[in-house]
Each structure stands twice: as structure tokens, then as C-alpha cells.
A = this chain, B = another copy of it.
Amino acid sequence: MTTPPAAYLALERQFARRAGLQGALGILNWDSRTMMPAASAAARADQVAALEGAIHAALLDPRVDDWLDSAAGNAHLLDDWQRANLTEMRREHRLATAVPADLVEANARDAARCEVVWRTAKARNDYGLLLPHLRQVLAHQREIAAANAAVLDCGLYDALHEIYEPGSRVADYGPIFDDYAAFLPGFLAEVEAVQDQEPAPAPFQGLFDVTAQRELVQRLAGVLGFAGRVDQSLHAFCGGATGDVRITTRLDPDNFFKALKSGLHEAGHALYEMGRPAAWAAQPVGLARGLAVHESQSLTFDMQVGRHPRFLEWLAPQLAAAFGGQGVAWTADNLRRRFRRVERSFIRVDADEVTYPAHVILRWRLEQALIQGAMDLADLPDAWNQGMRELLGITPPDTAMGCLQDIHWPSGAWGYFPTYTLGAMMAAQLFQAALTAMPDLPDRLARGDFAGLVAWLGENVHRWGRYLSTRDMMVRATGKPLDAGIFKAHLRARYL
């Protein structure tokens, strides 16, 4: 075995230091949403800004440039993982240096301000209030897109989406989204016809002890293999740091389904974070592949497993025991009926598995037009409503239920939305492959035995980090690149 060149080893040390700072930032962000008193928000903003500056500075260090050049010249002395790591280092460095520091700062400042205005605008249903601030944010995003596109040699929209799912391009997934948009109206009508024949699920009424809800989430996550912290927050998330992954859950006394869903969802994210290659945990090649792949892991447990009829056989008595539930509502069959309800609705986060992609496709189409300059922000509310009519046949009553509903655009997250639906489609395909590999997987789910599935995901997804591209990972795991036909077949099987 040859010794890696000194420049490459210097890069590993620099990126490991940066990973340490990123871990610190992860813990701080977790604290902000779980522990921090509200009065400390200004102090926290200073800490986060200083930390983000130090993380950025680690790549701007002029020695990094020299090391990258030198290591590239000696790439034949590296093994395959080191070479893949060097590729990811170059990518991170290119993106970090593509955007001028003053643009990074202006974008962060204006997006933070816009997000604050958005909260008021949404509450007052006043798009006009948001518009001038959103214009600033969009202007910065278009500049960032242009800067990234120049170094990535790709389109403007791809250059933003790249930040969230490296290597993912509209040319690849755009036809899949358009196909789904065409498929949906007919399919939805079929599903609704079936649904109309079925008795409505028995309701779950009463108050559900939040301590019992939290214990349920902790127990479910534990059964899946997650032993880290489980805390409460307003919006559930998986966060923390490498080696200290933490999840949170929403606790609503009126509705334990939020905690159940978020517990399965965030545990799926956590298992991915815990399963990344340990030897490369502090290096770019050891990171999660991207946010679409990440979403595929959360949705495997949230949607593929979490609503699987055999899993519900195991879950139903767990729920009844946790909340002292009795009667017909607490049967596996009633849970199944509840989970397969489909509805044309205005709010993305409350949407079901079938209509959710329509919400994503709407936003994806609109943000492409806005980033490319083909549409003006003044026209957004009308374009939104028009899109909703085309995709779901409904018209939002106001902008709060329409284009003001999501935090993404005001907070500067443009190009993010496709990861949700790409993740849902990948999850269906991966679950299908796991079923082929383990024909008794449904029986295992019915026994609450998840070890086989988690091991399969670890072997086929988690352990690869960024060593494989998303496409290569999917081909290796499932025999082919992303195939939306598998997702549609899954929907047909579950809802028709």
C-alpha cells in the first residue's frame, strides 16, 4: 500500500476540523429549537454567524487551493475512497469559493429579515407585504445560481438544486415529474371512486397523554435501532452531529398521529446519519449523499413501512397499549383505512402520499420560472392558483393557503422542493428491492422485526456515503436508476 501524499493528508485534517465545527453548529441548532430560552435568540444568532464564518473560512484558507492542486497531481497514489473524497473536497471548495463573500452575507441577512416579514404576511394573508422582501431574496438567489452555474457548467435552477442533492438535474427528473402531473388527475379520480365505496375510518377521539406519546416515539425509534436523544420541538427534525444524532417530535394532545408519523420519519433520517461510513465520518465522502436520498430513508419508515398493512398489525396493539385505547378505532384495519385516505387539499405539509407530489411539482415549476426570469414575482399568486387548478382541480381561498404557506422561499431555500418527491419515489423503489431480497419482509414487519430492513438499507444506501453517485447507488441497490413506474405501481397497489 502506498502512502497518500502530504497534501491530501493536510486536506483530510482541514476537512476534519471543518466537520468538527459543523458538528458544533448542529448541536447549537438543535439547542435553538429544543432548549434555548426565546430571549437568547439574538445571542444565538451571533454564535451561529461566527461559527458559519469559521466553517466558510476553513475552505477559503489559501493553502487549501495549493493542497487540492497538489493532491490532484498525485491522485494515482490514492485509493478509491480517497480519490472519491478528493472529488468531493474539490466540489465543496468550488461551491464555497464560487459565491463572493459579500453576496453570501447579503443573502443571509436579507433572507433572515424576509423570513420574519413572511410570518406576519402569512398571518395577515398579505402577499404585498412580503413582495419587496421576497424580491431581494430572489435577486440574491439568481446571483448565487449564476455563480454556481458557472463553475458547475449547468442550468441556473440545477445550480441551486445541486446544493441540496448533488448531481441531480432537471434533465433527468423533469420528465418524471411531468409524467406524474399527467398521471395524477385520472388516478386521483379512480382512488376517490374506490374511497367513496369504503366506510370512513372510525375516529380517534379524546386527549392523548404527551408523556405517553413521547415514550411511544422513543420506543419505536429504539426498536428501529436509534438510541439517541428524543426531545420535543414545534416542528420535528433530525439534527445534532456526527456521533450524536438527535431527533425531535411534535406532541399534540389532540392528535398522536403527528408524533407517530414524525417519530418514524425522523428515525429514518437518523438511521441514515448513524449508518454513514464510520471511517469517513469527518470527511466529505462520508456525508449523506443528498437530501433526496435522505428523504428516501425517512419516507421508507414513514410511508413504505409506516402505512404497510402488515406493519399496522404490529403497530395497532402498541398504540392501544400506549394510550389505553379500546374498540374498533384501534384495530389494524381501521388504521389502514385512516392511512389510505386521499384528499385534494391546499396545504403541502398536511397532504397525503398521492397528492403530495402535486404540491412539489407546482412549486418546482414556479421556482424554475422565477429563477430563470421567465416570471415576475408579482404574478406568483395567480400562477399558483392556476397551477393548483391544473394539478388538483382546486383553488386556494387566499394566499395564506396558497403561495404564502411555505417558509422555503422567504428563507432562501430555492431548489429544495424536488427532494421531497424524488425521495418518495426512491423510497418506493428501494423498498421494492428490499422486498425482492427479503420475501418474508412483510412477515417481519408484522412481528415488529426491522433488523433485516435496516441492515439492507445500511448495506445498500447508508454505508456508501458519497462514494457512489445517487444514480449508481440506485442501480447497485435496485438494478436500475430512478423509475417512477415503481412509485406509481406502489400507489395503485395501496390505494386502488
Contact = CB atoms under 8 A, between A and B. Distances in A.
A352 interface: no
Given A28-B27, A31-B31, A51-B24, A43 B229 contact: no
Contacts of A23: 43, 46-47, 50
A27 B54 CA distance: 17
A242 B45 CA distance: 12
A40 interface: yes
Contacts of A37: 227-229, 244
Count of identical protomers in the assembly: 2
A24 B50 contact: yes
Interface stretch (A13-21, A110-118, A283-291, A308-316): A13-21
Contacts of A39: 227, 243
A17 B282 contact: no
B243 A50 contact: no
A195 B215 CA distance: 53
A44 B244 contact: yes
Contacts of A46: 16, 19-20, 23, 243, 282
Nearest to A54: B54
Contact of A43 (B31, B35, B49, B241): B241
Interface string A22-40: 0111011001000111011
Interface string A387-428: 000000000000000000000000000000000000000000
Contacts of A54: 21, 54
A64 to B, nearest CB: 14
Given A19-B50, A27-B27, A40-B244, 10 more contacts: A16-B46, A20-B50, A21-B50, A21-B54, A23-B43, A23-B50, A24-B25, A31-B31, A37-B227, A43-B242
